[in-house]
Structure 1
Amino acid sequence: MLLPPAFANPALECGAGSQEEIGTCVAEDEEGVEAALFNALEAAMVTAAERDNTKGGTEMEAALMASQTAWEAFRSAHCAFAGQAHAVREDAGIATRACWTTLGRARVEELVRFSN
């Protein structure tokens, strides 16, 4: 059974290679996800503003920003845990970055769904 892209392991997607090569690959993936996350959040903010304008309020934008702030705190704490819990101490940084990428992909999907 294949997993959706948000749940794939970014470190495994990088294939075989040295720890340095996999680390570089995971870092590049993370950068791409961060850019996608930024764009998806901007699009979601536009959608929230449009919906607020039709309702005459600002509740949706505020709720989205509160949601994003909470999600960022969760991702930071959870991925720090994932890195610390990794069985191979030398791979803790890769595990942490892979976690950021995995959770970031899922958040992008959520924000894009909201924007549509």
Structure 2
Amino acid sequence: MRRVQFAFVLALTPLASAADPALECSDAGSQVEIGACVSEMRDRVEGALAVALDIARGSAGELDEVTGRKVALPALDAAQSAWAVYRDAHCDAVGVSFGGGSGTGIAITSCHIELGRARTRDLMAMAR
């Protein structure tokens, strides 16, 4: 079952060599269309991230069960919470660097995508 879930996450997560999300959406045309494109991309990344977190939580729970220690799952949950706070603060800082310009929303969403892709990879590495 874990192999099927892993394959599912890989299918949802673009290759590490993917371009900046806004550039990936450059075919969309207008800034409004690029914004819609990156929003859809963010939703897909968030879906993959949720699946990866479920897989990693399952692995952590199994480790806790095998070792008789209840530390892996709480540590993962604490790390995930801290990561979410970091992601939001970092991406807000990226947005502020646009000085309130019209590309601010696209920049923030692109930041969420990039960090979400990286976190998904990290979670899947923990689940092996």
The worse-fitting range, judged by mean Cα deviation, of 11-20 and 97-106 is 11-20
The answer to whether the aligner puts 1:105 opposite 2:89 as a matched pair is no
- Give unmatched runs, 5+ long, in structure 1: none
The number of equivalent residue pairs is 113
TM-score by length of 1: 0.92
SS of residue paired to 1:58: coil
Q: Indicate the structure whose relative CO is greater, using CA pairs within 8 Å and at least 6 residues apart.
A: 1
User: Equivalent residue for 1:86?
Assistant: 98
How far did 1:58 drift? 1.2
Q: Percent identity?
A: 42
Note if contact 1:6-1:106 (Cα within 8 Å) is conserved in structure 2: no
TM-score by length of 2: 0.84
User: Equivalent residue for 1:96?
Assistant: 108
User: Equivalent residue for 1:10?
Assistant: 21
Structure 1 ranges of 4+ moved more than 2 A: 4-8
User: Equivalent residue for 2:80?
Assistant: 68
Counterpart residue identity of residue 37, structure 2: C
What is the Cα-based RMSD across aligned positions, in Å?
1.5
* d(CA) in 2 for partners of 1:30, 1:90: 19
Q: For residues 41-56 of structure 1, what are the structure 2 equivalents within 5 Å?
A: 41-56=53-68
How far did 1:73 drift? 0.1
Note if contact 1:75-1:103 (Cα within 8 Å) is conserved in structure 2: yes
Change in 2 beyond 3 A, CA 1:93/1:15: same
